[in-house]
Amino acid sequence: QVQLQESGPGLVKPSQTLSLTCTVSGGSISSGGYYWSWIRQHPGKGLEWIGYIYYSGSTYYNPSLKSRVTISVDTSKNQFSLKLRSVTAADTAVYYCAAYELAEYFQHWGQGTLVTVSS
Amino acid sequence: SSELTQDPAVSVALGQTVRITCQGDSLRSYYASWYQQKPGQAPVLVIYGKNNRPSGIPDRFSGSSSGKTASLTITGAQAEDEADYYCNSRDSSGVVFGGGTKLTVL
C-alpha cells in the first residue's frame, strides 16, 4: 500500500518560496503508473490541483499557477517536491501530495500540511 | 481550463438514497472520480472509472455518467456518510476538481 507524507515549513513569509517534500513509502516512485501530484485546499474551500510529475521528470502544471510552480522528483530518496515562488497570503492552504493513478484518479493521499503565509 | 459544477449542499434522510451530481464538458471525454472528505481529514477516493470502488468502500456508493453529467449515488445513506464530496476529471489543461457538495444526513 502506497503511503505519502508531506514535510516542510508551516510558516512562510510573503514574497518568499514555499517548499514542500513528499516522501513515498510502500512502493517505488519509479515503478510507473502514478503521476506524483500536489493539490491544495484553501481554508474552508475546495480542492485545487497544482501539478504533477512522472518519475521520468515530465511535469504538468495548473495554468493558473504555472509561472510560480516547480515540481521535481528525487528517485534515489523516493521523494518529490513542490516549490511555489513569490507567495502571498492567498497561498495559505493545506497542501496535499497524492498519487494520481494512470492519470485518472487520486488513489493515495498524504495527510496534508497547513502552510501559512504571513510575516 | 474547463470547470466542474456541483451543487453546494445536499441533504438526505438516514437510510434513503441520494444522488450528487457533477457537470462539465470534460466529462464527455473523461470519467469522473469521486472523493469523500470529512473535517480535518484528507480526501478519500470512493469511486473511479466507469463505476469502480476501491477496496474498503461500501457498496452503497456507486457512480454513473451520461453526457456531461457524472453522478455519485449513495443507496441507504448512513450517518457516517455525512461529508464533503468532490468530483474530479482530466481536462485539456490537466486536472480539474468540482467545487464540492456538502452532504448532510438527517
pLDDT of B1 over the 60 cut: no
pLDDT on residue B71: 98
pLDDT on residue A33: 87
How far B56 CA lies from chain A's nearest CA (Å)?
13
Residues A48, B97: C-beta atoms closer than 8 Å: yes
Across the interface, of A51, A64, A111, the residue whose CB is closest to B42 is A111
Distance of CA A59 to CAs A25, A52, A74, A83, A85, Å?
A: 21, 6, 14, 13, 17
pLDDT of B18 over the 70 cut: yes
% chain A with pLDDT above 70: 100
How far B20 CA lies from chain A's nearest CA (Å)?
16
pLDDT of B2 over the 70 cut: no
Q: Which residues pair with B79 in a beta bridge?
A: none
Across the interface, of A46, A103, A110, the residue whose CB is closest to B97 is A46
pLDDT on residue A35: 95
pLDDT of B102 over the 90 cut: yes
How far B45 CA lies from chain A's nearest CA (Å)?
6
Q: How far is A105 from B51, CA to CA, in rounded Å?
A: 12
* Mean pLDDT score, B56-84: 97
pLDDT of B106 over the 70 cut: yes
What tens digit of pLDDT does each residue of B36-53 get? 999 999 999 999 999 999
Eight-class DSSP state of B83: E
Distance of CA B40 to CAs B43, B49, B71, B83, Å?
A: 10, 27, 25, 11
Residues B1, A63: C-beta atoms closer than 8 Å: yes
pLDDT on residue B16: 98
Q: How far is A98 from A55, CA to CA, in rounded Å?
A: 14
Residues B42, A96: C-beta atoms closer than 8 Å: yes
